[in-house]
């Protein structure tokens, strides 16, 4: 069996799909989330379906003071750590309430960056490992419809880029994942274009391949690379007139 894979924020639909992909590939799985008792059924399914070892770990992405102890007390430092922590929030609420905006920023940037920083130090000391951060295409350019969430993801994307550069000669690889639209609870009630919308299983498979091939930055569906290149290059006077 391959080395363990730690999945942070393991309660989301996307994270569950990632866990299945790595379990099927023969990895032991560490599922980390708040109130991990709710992941018992997921753990049992992975054990039954793939015959893999699964452990459940209590983890709060927003409790930054606990992150070092969390990493230090892991039963085994993972071969791969995947951060699927995030929360879109509601843009109108974030605009009206700075505290709500701060929570979105903490959930999508500050918390994920903090725990990955501790994992990076541990993997660097070991001289091996892979870190995966699930960011978002929303961070490629600020848009009126979700700029609080997007700005947090932009910060996380930049953090992952810098971390990858820092660790490039230390035996530790960093993968940035930009999924685009994914059919999960986060998109409930939102109508998205079919060609741009992936199934959670696609994300799981894409991340597994990216880790195996040591990719740097991946879009789950390649069309997103073109879409975001166009959006990034719209002149600002024109962009201000759009409803993106």
All residues at 6 or more sequence positions from 144 whose CB lies less than 8 Å from its CB, including other chains: 243, 244
Which of the residues are catalytic? 149
């Amino acid at each position: 069996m391959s080395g363990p894979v730690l999945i942070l924020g393991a309660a989301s639909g996307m994270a569950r799909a990632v866990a299945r992909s790595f379990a099927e590939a023969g990895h032991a799985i560490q599922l980390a989330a708040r109130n991990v008792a709710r992941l018992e059924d997921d753990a049992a399914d992975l054990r039954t379906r793939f015959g893999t070892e699964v452990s459940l770990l209590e983890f709060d992405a927003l409790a930054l003071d606990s992150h070092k102890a969390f990493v230090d007390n892991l039963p085994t430092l993972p071969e791969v750590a995947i951060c699927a922590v995030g929360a879109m929030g509601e843009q109108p609420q974030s605009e009206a309430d700075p505290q709500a905006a701060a929570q979105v920023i903490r959930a999508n940037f500050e918390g994920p960056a903090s725990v990955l920083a501790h994992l990076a130090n541990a993997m660097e000391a070991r001289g091996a490992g892979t870190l995966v951060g699930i960011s978002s295409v929303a961070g490629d350019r600020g848009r009126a419809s979700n700029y609080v969430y997007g700005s947090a993801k932009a910060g996380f994307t930049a953090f992952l880029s810098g971390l990858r550069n820092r660790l490039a000669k230390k035996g530790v690889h960093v993968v940035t994942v930009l999924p685009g639209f994914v059919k999960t609870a986060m998109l409930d009630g939102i109508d998205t274009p079919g060609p741009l919308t992936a199934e959670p299983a696609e994300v799981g498979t894409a991340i597994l391949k990216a880790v195996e091939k040591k990719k740097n930055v991946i879009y789950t569906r390649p069309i997103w690379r073109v879409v975001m290149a166009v959006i990034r290059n719209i002149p600002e006077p024109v962009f201000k007139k759009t409803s993106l």
